Amino acid sequence: MRGLLLNAYLVCLVPFAWGSPYIGLYIYYWLSYFDPFHLAYAPMPVPWVKIFAAITIVAWLLSKEPKRIPFNMTTTMLVVFYAWTTITLIFGLFPQYGLPKWQDFTSAIVMVFVALGVLTRRHRIHGALWVVVLALGWWTFKGGLFVLLSAGAQHVYGPEGTHFADNNGMARACIMIMPLILYLFLYSSQKHVRYALLGLLGLTILALVGTNSRGGFLGFGAMAAFAWLFARRKIVPLAIAVVIVGLGYLATPKDRIVEYTQRIESTADYENDGSAQGRFGSWRYAVELASRRPLGGGFGAFHGHTAPGQTSYTEAHSNYFEVIGEHGFIGLAIYLTIVIAAYRTCSRIIRMTKPRPDLHWARDLARCLQACEIAYLVGGLTINHATLELWYMLVAFMVATGTVVRRELARETAEVARERPALPGVVAGAGPMRWHGAETASRRS
């Protein structure tokens, strides 16, 4: 019954997506990260995620909105990386196993450029942030509440059938939305909304602890250090962290704390840790595969069916070795170029908006997106999510924010130029005056 009601509700949302492409993008994000069918205890007979993606694309193409996609180093390298992964799939070891992953990656890249086409204003970017935070925040809220109610006796997992189903996937969802929650907290005017976001942040941290993920722990530590380093009031985040950690310590049983501590400390004793040795084996396999095949093994290289005489590995256990094994060292170079270009995009936003108080929202958002990237990169040392759609969506937010900032700065420059009085004898809009003698001298030289 709930499934029928949910399908009827989604049918009613179709006209809104058709009338406003950015609304369609919001619905797409909501379906992708909230997964309402899981809560309705009903299968998804209709591929609503793909339907709303198609509706959003067609509606945007037919709308009167500008069709200018910002092409810079980040977006260009995204196209190059996608083309390269397509080539490696065609010449890969097991394209039949890698095809579903390539299809998911295709959807992620396409929706990046759709987002760049429709997120052209500040309020649209903020709306997308709210949708993502509320969608993923529902699961981190449940996870943190589960840790409190069970006294930390059980592990926290994400919804089945999603990229966040296992404990590592849930951990990366937690660490990648924490900076976004903090940003919305800073720019929410109503006190009860700010308190709710602060509570959600605390429960998200508890959910991260409940995942028992070492990769999540590393990503959170790096992100927290980055946030503290660039915080204007360093005592505030430190005090909040102490309070949240203290509450988590009091709510978690001692045996669970000992288990989690031992799991973190086991990273130092990697020689006797079976999980660590399995990771090292996957990494060696990736390097050997890329050394033999410059194109890598393509999507599906870690499926578990390898070349004769080779050890079978089903997971890369690292972003970087995942890219090496599937797309070779060239693919890794392209991937790292995207990462560096995205970070520099945020750095440019921070630099451009420094003298503009009205654009400080973009500065703070860029800094929070950098924190998300740090968490993604450090967590990716031991968790493989190189093609995670959430990461590429954040890249789209970075580029879209930079585009809005440049348009605002260009608009102000144009207004100043129009208001500036013209010099006597100079035609408005004419080029710079030239001194005839200097021009003659330059021709002689």
Question: Rounded CA gap, 287 and 381, in Å?
Answer: 15
Cβ pair 222, 378 in contact under 8 A: yes
Cα(299)–Cα(291) distance, integer angstroms? 17
Query: Among residues 364, 96, 134, 361, which one has the least CA distance to residue 230?
Result: 364
| Tokens of residue 242, six digits | 């102490």
Q: Note the Cα 151 to chain centre separation in Å.
A: 31
Single out the residue of 279, 266, 287, 263 nearest to residue 315, CA to CA.
279
Give the Cα separation of 338 and 74 in Å (integer).
5
From first to last of its 445 residues, what are the pLDDT tens digits of the chain? 677 888 888 999 999 999 999 999 999 999 999 888 877 666 667 788 999 999 999 999 998 888 888 889 999 999 999 999 999 999 988 888 889 999 999 999 999 999 999 999 999 999 999 999 999 999 999 988 888 887 666 778 888 777 888 888 888 899 999 999 999 998 998 999 999 998 999 889 888 888 888 788 888 888 888 887 877 666 666 666 676 566 666 656 666 666 656 655 555 544 544 455 667 778 888 898 899 999 988 898 887 644 444 445 567 788 999 999 999 999 999 999 999 999 999 999 999 999 899 999 999 999 999 999 999 999 888 888 889 999 999 999 999 999 999 999 988 777 666 666 555 554 444 444 343 444 444 444 3
Alpha helices in 64-121 (DSSP H): 73-90, 95-118
Read off the tokens for 198.
Answer: 């602060």
**Token pair of 213 as six digits:** 């993920």
DSSP string, 154-179: S-----TTSTT-SHHHHHHHHHHHHH
Q: Are 333 and 341 in contact (CB under 8 A)?
A: no
Question: Helix, strand or coil for residue 311?
Answer: coil
Q: Tell me if 326 sits within 8 A of 361, measured CB to CB.
A: no
Q: Identify the sign of the CA torsion 270, 272, 273, 279.
A: positive
- Residue 57 structure tokens: 């694309």
Neighbouring residues of 301: CB distance < 8 A, sequence distance ≥ 6: 92, 93, 94, 98, 286, 289, 325, 326
Amino acid 50 reads K
Residues in contact with 137: Cβ distance below 8 Å, sequence separation at least 6, in sequence order: 177, 181, 200, 204
